[in-house]
Amino acid sequence: MKKHIFFLLCGAVVLTACQNKALPDPRKDSSHFVTLSTAVPDVILEIRYFSTYNFVGERIDGYVQPTALITKEAGAALKAVSDDVKAQGYRLKVYDAYRPQKAVDHFVRWAADLQATQMKPCFYPDLDKSVLFEQEYIMEYSGHTRGSTVDLTLFDMRTEKEVDMGGTFDWFGPESHPDFCGNPETGEYTGDNSASPAGRSITPEQFSNRMILRQAMLRHGFKPLSSEWWHFTLREEPYPDTYFTFPVKQLD
């Protein structure tokens, strides 16, 4: 009887120890991701948040190396996009893909500091910084953190230059909207620039260039964002409710 009691007590101790052991945090798990240049060998990377040329003006927290990560599913879809545009004479140029929550937190802190405006002339000259939260240019959570969103443009292999999209990546304003000066559903250029507070405009060619990128992304399973011509998310993203926290660095 004493032996049975001893084994019961030991079992209870083991069970309690297992229950008290913390489960792995799925937000820290990068095993479902791939280095973007591995998934899409033809991609050109210009990781703006690893550099100081971005709307904050300094390297962003969480970007340990100048590389890009993406979920395996989004990487496979982006490879199809790359093959598509390559046949048209272009390559994909990526500014950002997976973005750790630490980076988003950095954006939030920066937006709350109304004195930090050194990059205003480059990225938000028509806006007072105090409206960035209100107008949702800065938010506490980003779709990028779920791992299947990418910010990108086209590179012309004939001219060996970035394609002219009529505006820079991360420009805060209606000029970045896909429907600026045209109808993205039909691809028709209208020239309507009434939304621009400074009367800015884009040409028919610049609008057409935006549509080349957009249509290729849509053909291969990505969905657009109504406020940024460069931003696309995999329509069937595998982790729609997980905001990952591991840093951006080359995966083994």
The ranges assigned to domains in the chain are 33-234
Rounded CA-CA distance 252/250 in Å is: 7
In this prediction, residue 17 carries a pLDDT of 46
Exposure b/e, 131-162, CB count within 10 A at least 16 = b: ebeeeebbeeebbbbbbbbbbbbbbeeeeeee
175 is catalytic: no
pTM of the entire predicted model: 0.90
In this prediction, residue 19 carries a pLDDT of 53
In this prediction, residue 75 carries a pLDDT of 98
Q: What is the DSSP letter of 174?
A: G
In this prediction, residue 71 carries a pLDDT of 98
Tell which CATH classification among 3.30.1380.10, 3.30.110.70, 3.30.450.20, 3.40.50.1260 matches the domain 33-234: 3.30.1380.10
Catalytic pick from 46, 73, 228, 237? Answer: 228
In this prediction, residue 23 carries a pLDDT of 81
> What radius of gyration, in Å, describes the C-alpha atoms of the chain?
22
In this prediction, residue 252 carries a pLDDT of 74
Rounded CA-CA distance 117/244 in Å is: 29
Q: Are 183 and 146 in contact (CB under 8 A)?
A: no
- Residue ranges of the chain with pLDDT lower than 50? 1-3, 5-9, 11-17
Give the tens place of pLDDT for each residue, 90-113.
Answer: 999 999 999 999 999 999 999 999
Distance of CA 18 to the CA centre of its chain: 38
In this prediction, residue 108 carries a pLDDT of 98
